[in-house]
Amino acid sequence: MRRGRTDGRSTTAARRTARLGRAYGGRRTTAEPGVGGVVLILPDGAPESTRGRSPWAHLAALSLGRALARAGHSEGLVVLPVHYSGRGWNGTRAQLAVDAAWAADEVVRRYGDVPVCLVGLGLGGRAALRAAGHAAVASVLAMAPLLPPEGRDAGGASEPVKQLVGRKVMIVHGTNDERSCPDRSYRLAERAKKANRDICRFEVHTDGHALRQHHAEVLALAVDFVVGTLVPRPFSRPVADALAAPPPLGLRMPLAAGFGKSLRP
């Protein structure tokens, strides 16, 4: 009986497919005139799991999705959540990254040749970084990305960075993150910066994995970067400085208290 239940779960997991959820802010998810870019929200996941997507992970991304939708609506941006085929990264399968790449394909099918920004939280941040090589992807925002120890995956291969070339990339990490080591994201950013100058990393001092302590500033930073990479408008001075600064300065940029109250220079 136990084997039958296990096999049933495996069969169910095999039938699951990724899909795009309803757009934040009420925009339609079918093709419509005036769409200038698409933001894909990649929620957190689990390192190993055969279970379906986590509703709690999607709830954790809700405020971010809504903030981006509000800021980008007048610019013709559509913000869509990605519903994974399952919540597990699952070693070398890297299923969340596979689902992220599928989502970018689906955007091209629905909207045509529009720029895409991948925005990921936790393991979704790792998926966003991995899937950045898709031709439609213009930018990546990885928030508290959950990266493997020593920058190597379950198969022993180094976490790749070549796919980030030609994309604008921002990593945001709390210095007190106990689930996702901030030093790992710094080391990855350091490697990536050698091949791609358009990468920066912000540190949120004293904040943890969920980035709740400085939530308003984190949302403002996300909006500034994401919208600025998809539409022709300038970044705020701190973001522009972080992208232009050599390492380690541009990769250890502190997120100032009150960021967002006056975004434009």
- The share of the chain scoring above pLDDT 90, in percent, equals 81
Which domains can be identified in the chain, with CATH numbers?
19-24+34-254 (3.40.50.1820)
- Quick: pLDDT tens for 63-93: 999 999 999 999 999 999 999 999 999 999 9
Q: Is the pLDDT of residue 6 over 60?
A: no
Residue 126's closest CA among 103, 152, 139, 144?
144
Other CB atoms within 10 Å distance of the CB of residue 214: 20
**Beta partners for 240?**
none
- Quick: pLDDT tens for 144-197: 999 998 767 666 678 999 999 999 999 999 999 999 999 999 999 999 999 999
Annotate 66-86 with DSSP letters as a single string.
HHHHHHHGGGTEEEEEEE-S-
